[in-house]
Structure 1
């Protein structure tokens, strides 16, 4: 290894570490996955045992609310837990309205279908959804669209991966919704919660780890503000420069 190789490898390792941390933050990590799976697992377990729709639904909603309370007590971010509550609440409402326990899963399945289509459509439109999601996490916002084409390409690949994986998942679940019973659908859905998600996250990491580094637009704005403050301070301390600046301003106004 030459002296030039080591800094390059260190830079790549730093970029991969930043990517891993950002993905962990964006998708909730292990705890987020547990909060996503637990309510549905409780629902299908109770329903498999006693076929009681009301008890299963109430238990799933209760554990979702408990997960939010735990996060609030620990003063942790609640966005993943709240999304779980809303998903479970919609499922409970659907199931209670129709009296069909399988409808507990229908809102989540429709959401998965819509999200899969959104990944594909936004990518075809040149604004891949995964870039919109991760841009603020990487502090690059939308700079990747016009200033970082290599990164835009990586976001497009990742969005294609997410879209195709989610649509493949729907291709399995929707036929089961019509043909299988509630317990069968529930257990298959639980089995398909984590593996496709991990595959999509891993592919996202692979694509982004090989992409150019994100442009930190927040650091750029801070640097511009600091430079502006230094320029104003220099003008205030140098009367000649201040006079030249005022003369230039008058010239612009007259023009």
Structure 2
């Protein structure tokens, strides 16, 4: 009696998917993402640009090692290390501390433009990505309320990228490096969390609608099949 329960429990654990927060690195990821930026600003102010660059790179590597040792998801750390490496290279080439933030500024513009474009071509990226990952096909595009929800979710993410670009670009042009670092941290995960609320709403709304539509379609097909079977079953009796 206990064996099936154990198997069911194991199956449930294996089928459990990580939450969106876990995929972004969990609560620790919110902290880790800001460490290289803070280290860069402090070391640059105290010891100069070169020290700031190498310290930021070193902190990103340490974060990756810590995640490996603690067996935490390493994808956010690898992405973070890659981003810090590019930012550090740009700062080194420009010879300016604010160059450390230039890659992120223009990346926000590119991402925001792609998200807006996906809405204009009627393939909102949130819907495309979510349903592709879950293998649920493209039924959501034929349901107008579902597509509208995904449009709003995609627009919310586009607004996040647009806000980051506008604010950080202004701070960059104004040479407010300290505030630029603050804006990069404050407009990172906190803004994503707000947009994620819209994403979760759109996903749940669409999944619920599609499930209802599939059940209604299945019931209609079952009724049609039953009616046809009854019709053919009556023919011999009528003859």
**What's the TM-score once normalised by structure 1's chain length?**
0.67
Match of 1:130 in 2: 126
Unaligned 5+ segments in structure 2 are: 1-15, 212-239
Whether the aligned pair in 1 keeps the contact of 2:36 and 2:59 (CA below 8 Å) is yes
Distance 1:74 1:135, change over 3 A: farther
Q: Is 1:35–1:80's contact at 8 Å kept on the other side of the alignment?
A: no
SS at match of 1:211: helix
Write the distance in 2 (CA, Å) between the matches of 1:183 and 1:41. 10
CA offsets 1:20-56 (integer angstroms, 9 cap, x no match): x5422443332332232221122123223x1511111
Matched residue pairs, number? 196
Deviation, structure 1 residue 82? 0.9
Q: Residue 212 of structure 1: SS of its match in structure 2?
A: helix
Measured against aligned partners, the alpha-carbon deviations of 1:147-190 in whole angstroms (never above 9, x if no partner) come to 66544332221001100122022111101101123223222322
Query: What secondary structure sits across from 1:210 in the alignment?
Result: helix
Q: In the alignment, what sits opposite 2:68?
A: 72
Q: Does 1:187 align with 2:182?
A: yes
Whether the 8 Å CA contact 1:165–1:200 is kept in 2: the answer is yes
Of the three residues 36, 44, 49, the one matched with 1:47 is 44
Q: Which residue of 2 aligns with 1:199?
A: 194
Which segment drifts farther, 109-118 or 150-159?
150-159
Greater RCO (CA < 8 Å, at least 6 residues apart): 1
Mapped partners of 2:170, 2:160: distance in 1: 17
Q: Indicate how the Cα distance of structure 1 residues 181 and 147 shifts in structure 2: closer, same or farther if over 3 A, else same.
A: closer
Whether 1:59 aligns to 2:48 is no
Cα distance in 1 for partners of 2:184, 2:121 equals: 31
Instruction: Supply the distance in 1 between the matched residues of 2:173 and 2:47 (Cα, whole angstroms).
Output: 18
Residues 206-217 of structure 1 mapped to structure 2, 5 A cutoff: 206-213=201-208
1:177 aligns with 2:177: no
SS in 1 for 2:67: helix
**TM superposition score normalised by structure 2:** 0.71
Name the CA distance, whole Å, in 2 between partners of 1:83 and 1:93: 16
RMSD: 2.6
Displacement of 1:199: 1.2
